[in-house]
Amino acid sequence: MKSLLSGNEAVARGAWEAGCRVATAYPGTPSTEILENIIKYPEINAEWSVNEKVALEVAAGASFAGARALVAMKHVGLNVAADPFFTMGYSGVTGGLVVVSADDPGMWSSQNEQDNRHYGRHAKVPILEPSDSNEARIFTKLAFEISEKFDTPVLLRLTTRICHSTCLTELGERKEIEVSGYVKDINKRLVLPAHARALHLVVEERLKKIAAQSEVFRYNRIEWGKKTLGIITSGVAYQYAKEVFPEASVLKLSLTHPIPEKMIKRFAKHVRKIVVVEEGDPVLETEIKAMGIKVTGKDKIPLCGELTPDVLKSSFSKRTKAPAKSSKVPPRPPVLCPGCPHRGVFYVINKLKLVVTGDIGCYTLGALPPLSAMDTCVCMGASVTNAQGMEKALGKEFSKKLVAVLGDSTFFHSGITGLVNAVYNKGNLSLLILDNFTTAMTGHQPHPGTGRLARGERGRRIAPEDIARGCGVEMVKVVNPNDLAATELAFKQALEYDGVAVLVFRRPCALLVKPRPPYRIDPESCNGCKLCLRIGCPALSLVFPEHREKPLAVVDEALCVGCGLCVQLCQRSAIFLSRKSDG
């Protein structure tokens, strides 16, 4: 029986089949659907953790207690979780521990395209790289087995085109694995220097054993074709190589750290020329070259950007049949949705010409014109700390035109420590928490501020304003961002305030509330002044009717959700409700 599964659905299925008991994650594209699908299996105790470090440590605790545990995150999430990840490499596991990293080559929804295969090598942890959904399911199960057999966490490394590609996948049944229970072992789990010194020796020995396993691992395999060209590849790049070089011999690597050196040498002996086809950094290429084998790789295939069949083809052939891309096509970058509660805040920021340290979420789109209201975006939580640093360098006066902006989920993820730091170190800071009751960008996952748990059940709600007060902030206000006058007033109070001020702008994500009746524009009253266009709402545009001297603003009623923000900008009261609310 085969089913259509995305790579993420397949990892969830694999975890379930493997008898996984505990699963944790913080949402992040392209990894989010792994936990969203795990939630559908009641046998797995699943949670959205507040960040990736927390998620990995909770999973590690479950492993200590003898349960199979999985933790999923996007590539940059592993930066946050790197500390426990490295230690778990030393401590090893009791119940199998699988760490899933979903990398994002091409940066479809990310701030960098780091190649997390380096992390496996750095932390001395084995890596499995599936090349489609069926392998994602099988490798998740094998990852638990390898983890327990060799007493190590295993890094299951996915990429966007594995996570978000769908193909026919076999389904297996769940095999229950009993939780072995907790047995105290401080030599293994308490990394005092004396213990860690011994553990490091164990880690190096373990890697040798896994290298031997890599030689006989059945998914490290040679597919013989013509011997004139040999391809060494892994992950989704395998599919592209099969497509572009259908006649070549292929060494498909799946357990890619440690690499099977003997198998690679055998392959190299039989083919005339070797090309290493990998997406991202020359990770395999570097190791194979270090073995003294001559290969072609990143000298031909681009290191930056996503690898595609087209990119691979054009790396080796100048001739291409493909038609040219159309020129002069207006770009369509993502935008804040119609009715987005963030829009009012960014409008006011733009109006007051403030410097903004930004953060990661939908609201990063506030950086784009016409709102153009963001100056920096570094990583989760950095809005708070970057602002504090700027004030340290430029003084209190500068902080009067500086705000830090982050979302509710990002605040819980890693904004709180920065806030404590600013209060403790006597910073002057205006922090704006855009609270839309959800983690919007990744598709609406709950977080502590929503009071809902992963499966929708009621949990304990923790309000950002209570946390701010608990951190020692005395100036805390909750504001409706759709009320432009109130928003501007709150800004002024916060900027004048001596010390740390926190403004919580609270209004639910526009995608989570029922749209209200759309607005219309009265052509008699509109004078085409374009004031309403300054909020950058996709539902508003300017037209130039033939029989009219001045342009006319119009509302696309299919897009308008009736938030009423534009109404507050029109000086001529030209924007009105087209019909009464039906309740």
Partner 1 sequence: MAKSVREKENTNVIICGVGGQGIILASDVLCYCASLAGFDVKKSEVHGMAQRGGSVITHIRFGGKVYSPLIAQGTADYILAFEKVEALRYAHYLEKNGEIIVDNREIPPMSVLVGEAEYPADIDRRLTRMGKTHFIDATSIAAELGNMRVVNIVLLGVLSRFLRLKEKHWRDAIRKNVKEQFVDLNIQAFGRGREIAG
Which residues sit at the interface with partner 1, rule CB under 8 A? 2, 4, 29-30, 32-33, 108-109, 132, 160-161, 164-168, 236, 239-240, 242-243, 246-247, 308-310, 313, 320-326, 328-337, 362, 364-365, 368-370, 441-443, 533, 536, 538, 540-542, 558
Q: What's the closest the beta carbon of residue 545 comes to partner 1, in angstroms?
A: 16
Q: Is the dihedral of CA 2, 3, 5, 9 positive or negative?
A: negative
Nearer to partner 1, 11 or 402 (CB): 11
Quick check: 357 and 375 in contact, CB under 8 A? yes
Q: What's the closest the beta carbon of residue 301 comes to partner 1, in angstroms?
A: 15
Nearer to partner 1, 333 or 583 (CB): 333
Nearer to partner 1, 389 or 528 (CB): 528
CB atoms within 10 A of CB 391: 20
Q: What's the closest the beta carbon of residue 530 comes to partner 1, in angstroms?
A: 9
Q: Are strands 154-159 and 97-103 parallel, antiparallel or unpaired?
A: parallel
Q: What string of DSSP letters covers 468-521?
A: HHHTT--EEEEE-TT-HHHHHHHHHHHHHSSSEEEEEEE---GGGSPPPPPEEE
Q: What's the closest the beta carbon of residue 414 comes to partner 1, in angstroms?
A: 19
Residues 117 and 103: their CA atoms lie apart, in Å, by 9
Q: What's the closest the beta carbon of residue 537 comes to partner 1, in angstroms?
A: 9
Nearer to partner 1, 110 or 256 (CB): 110
Quick check: 109 and 29 in contact, CB under 8 A? yes
Vertex 253 angle, CA 247 and 256, to 5°: 155
Nearer to partner 1, 335 or 495 (CB): 335
Quick check: 39 and 70 in contact, CB under 8 A? no
Residues 294 and 288: their CA atoms lie apart, in Å, by 8
Residues 21 and 577: their CA atoms lie apart, in Å, by 53
Q: What's the closest the beta carbon of residue 338 comes to partner 1, in angstroms?
A: 8
Q: What's the closest the beta carbon of residue 257 comes to partner 1, in angstroms?
A: 24
Nearer to partner 1, 168 or 198 (CB): 168
Q: What's the closest the beta carbon of residue 193 comes to partner 1, in angstroms?
A: 42
Q: What string of DSSP letters covers 177-200?
A: ---------HHHH---HHHHHHHH
Residues 397 and 572: their CA atoms lie apart, in Å, by 37
Quick check: 348 and 491 in contact, CB under 8 A? yes
Q: What's the closest the beta carbon of residue 337 comes to partner 1, in angstroms?
A: 6
Q: What's the closest the beta carbon of residue 271 comes to partner 1, in angstroms?
A: 18
What order of strands is seen across the sheet that includes strand 273-277? 221-223, 248-253, 226-234, 273-277
Nearer to partner 1, 79 or 399 (CB): 79
CB atoms within 10 A of CB 336: 22
Nearer to partner 1, 94 or 442 (CB): 442
- Token look-up 């750290």 returns 257
Nearer to partner 1, 290 or 544 (CB): 544
Nearer to partner 1, 141 or 242 (CB): 242
Residues 6+ apart with CB under 8 A from 115: 103, 105, 280, 281, 283
